[in-house]
Every structure is written in C-alpha cells, then in structure tokens.
Structure 1
C-alpha cells in the first residue's frame, strides 16, 4: 500500500472516530418542546445519533412532549443494545438545568424496565423471537446481571424552581400519578409508562 493511500485511510479513520465521539446535537429546551408539543406529537425526536447519550436525549424529548409510544420504543431500542450498560451512560454535563435534571432521572426508569425483564429470564441481547424450550432454558441459565444507574445522576441538583410537565392534552398532572423520582428533582410529571413486552 502506498504512503498516500495509507495517509488517506488514516485520515478517514480519524474523521470517523471524531464524528462518532461527538456529543449529539443539543436538543430543544423544555419550554420549546412544551410550546411545540402539538406539532411534535407523533414525530421522531430531533436528536440524532446511535450512542447511549443520543438515545437518552431522545427519551427526554419524548417524555416532555408526552409521546409515550416514542419513549417506550426508544427504551426498547436501548435495551437491544447490550453493550450499552446503563451504569456506563456518560455524564452529559448539560448546561441547561431543566434538561440535565430530566436526563438524570431517566436512567432510573431504564433500570426499572430492563431489570423487570432480566429478572424474568430475558437478559439484554436476547433474540427477538425465542423459539423452543432449548433456547428458553439457555436464556434462563445465564447469570442475572441487573442494570444500575450511573454515578453521575446523584450529583445532579434538584431544580430551584418547580418544573411542571403537563399531560399530553395540556392538563396538569394528577397528584396520584406524579412520579416521586422526578419530584425529587422538583419536576412534576406523571409516572412515565416505560415497561415494554
């Protein structure tokens, strides 16, 4: 291989590494999403990328606009990336306090959804279709490895002012359905529907 071709290949490899390591495009603020929630309903999230952080930002968008199907689909997508341990989600260090507080709660819900399946014998990386007793026995024989939240979520402060994320139709959240985990960050939102399968 010539030196020129080798340099070109090295340049391309460095370029791809730089692109893949870049954080996702910063998504809209909570206020922008709430202002545009009707137009955004049923739409794909604005955040692109195939990284744990990009996926977390898409969950944030879906939660704020009240798009439950989008949120659950994104959670299922994350589940099907077995190399993405929840505890290894990098700290996004988001400069927007509202967005950062929401992002810090979402790993709790990933653990809740994933550990429910793992405890039932469906580990991450399982085939989409489990055909036959032999495959089922093999899955149940795997060691149970539960997901844990990343350490950075503990250092994210609660919001100074209460943030209320209304229900999908714009009504205030019902007290009996408010998420205690989000409330601990001074965010009033109904418990998200995160369980799938």
Structure 2
C-alpha cells in the first residue's frame, strides 16, 4: 500500500514538473514551442529544444529567431558549422504539424547556406580550427577541396502561409519593409532580417 501511494505521489510530482503523465514506455520528447508561446516568453534566453542533432539545432535557431536573440542564433550557426559531418542539405524534413513553425524552419537553411558558403569560399572549410596558426596552416585550409553547402530538398515543398504571420520586434515596434527579411516575406512571414553572418 505504501509503495502504491509513493508511486502515485511521484507520478503526480512528475506530471506537475514536466506536464506529462508518467508511463511505462520511454518518455516522448515535448513538442517544440509554438510561435505564440515564444512571443509570450521573449525574456527567455535558453532554447527549449535539446539534443545534439542537425534537426535539434535547426529548432533552436527557430526559437532564437522568434525570441529575437541574435547571439543565440549566431552561436547555434557556428556550432552547426563546426560539425562538418552535418551537411545542410542533409537536415531531415521535420514534417512539423504546425504550419507557422514549419514555414519558419524551411527558411532558416537559406541563411545557413549563405553564412557557411561565405566562409567556405574564403578558404575556411567547415570543421576548421578556431585558431589558425601561421601562413602554412592557412594555406593548408585553402588547399582543401571547396565543398559548398546546398539547401535540403524538402524546403521547396513547404507551403507558404495563407495568412501573414507578423513577428514583432522584441520591444513591440512595427517593422518596416527595409528591415524585414525578404526570405521570410516569400513565405508570408514578416520578421526582422536576422544577423546570421559570423567570423
């Protein structure tokens, strides 16, 4: 009897802390936060998505974009760049059931390709050391084959949003077209142009 009561109490605590009822099966990862939730929690500076996979990294970039946390976006981009085995084209299709989140996820790889190829074309391939010591090391990097990044094929199949999604500045200021991202506008999303170039 005491064991059953303790188990029930632990189950209640688990549900209160995580929002999930305990089961005998492996716990299912929570859904990534919606745009609405992120906009309501803009003081947040830590991504809710966990994991060390290309898709988890993409979701963290999505979160940082909505939170308008540019340092988070650039840090995540740099982290992805330093995983040379993670080709942008190989990011799996998230098949996200939330149309707004899916549309945003489909645009982010454009910024990744631009930022990564900018460095690759300058002779800094993915997986390069953080510190390059001397001309010899720099020449060795420049002598490596140039392998440019490409978009994942699934991004072309993500539907444009039927209704305009407006992601305001963190301070609630209206956006003008000069500051809006043309890449996101093509998906009917009004958001400030993110700062995605690094190094």
TM-score range, shorter chain: 0.7 to 0.9
Structure 2 CA distance, aligned partners of 1:167 and 1:146?
A: 33
Structure 1 spans left out of the alignment, 5+ residues: 1-18
Which structure shows the bigger proportion of residues in helix conformation? Answer: 1
Show the counterpart of 2:119.
Answer: 117
Structure 2 CA distance, aligned partners of 1:151 and 1:162?
A: 24
Instruction: Give 2:69's match in structure 1, choosing from 67, 70, 73.
Output: 67
Please tell me whether the aligned partners of residues 24 and 54 of structure 1 are also in contact (alpha carbons under 8 angstroms).
no
Listed as ranges, the matches of 1:90-129 within 5 Å are 90-129=92-131
TM-score calculated relative to the size of structure 2: 0.84
Please tell me whether the aligned partners of residues 24 and 48 of structure 1 are also in contact (alpha carbons under 8 angstroms).
no
Q: Does 1:141 align with 2:146?
A: no
Show the counterpart of 1:52.
Answer: 54
Greater C-alpha radius of gyration: 2
Show the counterpart of 2:14.
Answer: none
TM-score calculated relative to the size of structure 1: 0.85
Q: Does 1:33 align with 2:35?
A: no
Q: When the two structures are aligned, how many residues end up with a matched partner?
A: 174
Stretches of 4+ moved more than 3 A in 1? 22-25
| RMSD of Structure 2 on Structure 1 (CA) | 1.5
Please tell me whether the aligned partners of residues 24 and 49 of structure 1 are also in contact (alpha carbons under 8 angstroms).
no
CA shift, 1:25, in A, is 3.9
Please tell me whether the aligned partners of residues 24 and 53 of structure 1 are also in contact (alpha carbons under 8 angstroms).
no
Listed as ranges, the matches of 1:77-92 within 5 Å are 77-92=79-94
Instruction: Give 1:184's match in structure 2, choosing from 183, 186, 197.
Output: 186
Structure 2 CA distance, aligned partners of 1:98 and 1:186?
A: 10
